[in-house]
């Protein structure tokens, strides 16, 4: 009897003991990993003077995992610190510091047109088990994306490319169709009232059509309620509306002030020519004027233009009688393109509904 009991209890206790030992080891390893994860890894950064802006961004966003400790720049002339970090100007000093402080991360910063000598660093630290990473300075490129993408199976970094991937574009398109359909159904009576008012305000059609550029420069006819008396412009010239413009009808002034003249553009949204939110499209003649006067101006058309946008809710509406006004509008548009998200679209729509219909500069 006793041998039989022993035969049964031995594997039971052996298994229990093995489980306790294994659990202890797992807890120990987990504890060590957590402790190591809290330990910030020292980082050496090779950066030229022109990359100071990127260097500051890296220091500010290094988080809890990495800790930049030194900057290497052979061309540093009498510079002891940069962005709050000590500077060394000799590769020998950098190598000694890497070994002394057991630095395992070396980040190379450089402009795509002037990349650092990667082979030199790889050769210099081939015996030191240092992770060498290349971080291109893309701050001078308006639509650059620091993420690595795959092009025919090869790694690539976008310098100028369409900012919305197909995966992000179709939800935005779906939202545009649903939102535009619901809006048009809800405001049909208002559209009829405005159409009658425009018709009675002055002779001419109810709708005004004008050629604008869409995504990737594809042209389309934008729809607006007519707000001006019919007149003839010289070929290739578009005169912007100004305060007290005699061409604007009384009804048109109200429509422009409240942006109600833009409502027919929801039809453009349904046709896929515009989005609810995006950079406002300008007259083609204005594009030709400003594309060489405002840097990165045409990047606005890398996504669909919108009925409302980040520039509009920030007060940049109406006449652009100064280059600075257009430059500020373009800056807002590029910010929107670089930081696009579904929630940013909802935020812009919310601000537009709250305060965007009436503007002091819209006339």
Q: What's CA 320's distance to the chain center, in Å?
A: 24
pLDDT at 144: 64
User: Per the domain annotation, does 363 fall within a domain?
Assistant: no
Nearest alpha carbon to residue 107 among 74, 68, 164, 154:
68
Q: φ and ψ at 176, to 5 degrees?
A: -60, -45
CATH code of the domain containing 136? 3.40.50.720
User: Per the domain annotation, does 159 fall within a domain?
Assistant: no
Domain identity same for 228 and 347: yes
Domain identity same for 287 and 170: yes
Domain identity same for 222 and 245: yes
User: Per the domain annotation, does 156 fall within a domain?
Assistant: no
Domain identity same for 277 and 315: yes
Domain identity same for 50 and 25: no
Domain identity same for 170 and 315: yes
SS3 at position 216: helix
Domain identity same for 57 and 4: no
Q: Judge contact between 296 and 142, C-beta under 8 A.
A: yes
pLDDT at 8: 39
Mean pLDDT by 10 residues, the chain (363 residues): 41 50 60 57 84 82 81 84 88 90 87 73 85 79 66 66 74 92 94 92 88 90 88 56 71 86 94 95 88 88 92 81 87 90 91 68 47
pLDDT at 24: 63
Domain identity same for 25 and 60: no
> Which strand (E) or helix (H) includes residue 87?
strand 85-88
Domain identity same for 264 and 296: yes
Domain identity same for 56 and 175: no
User: Per the domain annotation, does 361 fall within a domain?
Assistant: no
User: Per the domain annotation, does 149 fall within a domain?
Assistant: no
pLDDT at 243: 61
User: Domain range holding 107?
Assistant: 41-140
This prediction's pTM? 0.66
Domain identity same for 47 and 28: no
Domain identity same for 20 and 113: no
pLDDT at 109: 84
User: Per the domain annotation, does 57 fall within a domain?
Assistant: yes
pLDDT at 6: 40
User: Per the domain annotation, does 153 fall within a domain?
Assistant: no
Domain count, the chain: 3
User: Per the domain annotation, does 160 fall within a domain?
Assistant: no
Nearest alpha carbon to residue 94 among 111, 110, 107, 112:
107
């Amino acid at each position: 009897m006793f041998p039989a009991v022993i035969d049964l209890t031995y594997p039971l206790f052996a298994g229990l003991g093995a489980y306790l030992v294994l659990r202890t080891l797992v807890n120990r390893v987990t504890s060590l990993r957590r402790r190591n994860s809290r330990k910030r890894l020292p980082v050496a950064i090779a950066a030229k003077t022109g990359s100071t802006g990127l260097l500051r961004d890296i220091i500010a966003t290094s988080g809890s995992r990495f800790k930049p400790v030194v900057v290497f720049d052979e061309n540093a002339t009498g510079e002891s610190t940069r962005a709050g970090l000590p500077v060394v100007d000799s590769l020998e000093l950098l190598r000694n510091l890497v070994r002394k402080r057991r630095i395992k991360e070396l980040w190379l910063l450089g402009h795509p047109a002037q990349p650092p000598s990667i082979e030199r660093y790889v050769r210099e630290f081939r015996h030191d088990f240092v992770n060498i990473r290349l971080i291109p300075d893309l701050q001078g490129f308006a639509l650059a994306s620091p993420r690595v993408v795959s092009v025919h199976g090869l790694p690539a970094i976008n310098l100028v490319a369409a900012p919305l991937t197909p995966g992000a574009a179709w939800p935005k398109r779906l939202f545009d169709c649903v939102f535009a359909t619901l809006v048009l159904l809800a405001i049909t009576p208002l559209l009829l009232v405005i159409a009658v008012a425009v018709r009675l305000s002055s002779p001419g059609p109810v709708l005004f059509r004008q050629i604008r550029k869409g995504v990737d420069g594809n042209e389309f006819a934008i729809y607006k309620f007519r707000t001006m008396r019919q007149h003839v412009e010289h070929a290739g010239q578009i005169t912007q509306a100004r305060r007290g413009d005699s061409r604007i009808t009384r009804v048109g002034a109200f429509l422009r002030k409240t942006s109600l003249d833009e409502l027919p553009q929801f039809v453009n949204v349904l046709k896929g020519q515009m989005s609810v939110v995006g950079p406002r499209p300008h007259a083609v003649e204005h594009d030709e004027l400003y594309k060489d006067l405002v840097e990165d101006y045409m990047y606005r058309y890398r996504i669909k233009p919108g009925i409302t946008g980040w520039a509009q809710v920030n007060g940049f509406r109406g006449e652009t009688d100064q280059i600075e006004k257009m430059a500020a509008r373009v800056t807002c548009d590029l910010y929107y393109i670089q930081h696009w998200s579904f929630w940013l679209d909802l935020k812009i729509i919310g601000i537009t509904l709250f305060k965007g219909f009436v503007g002091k500069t819209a006339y």
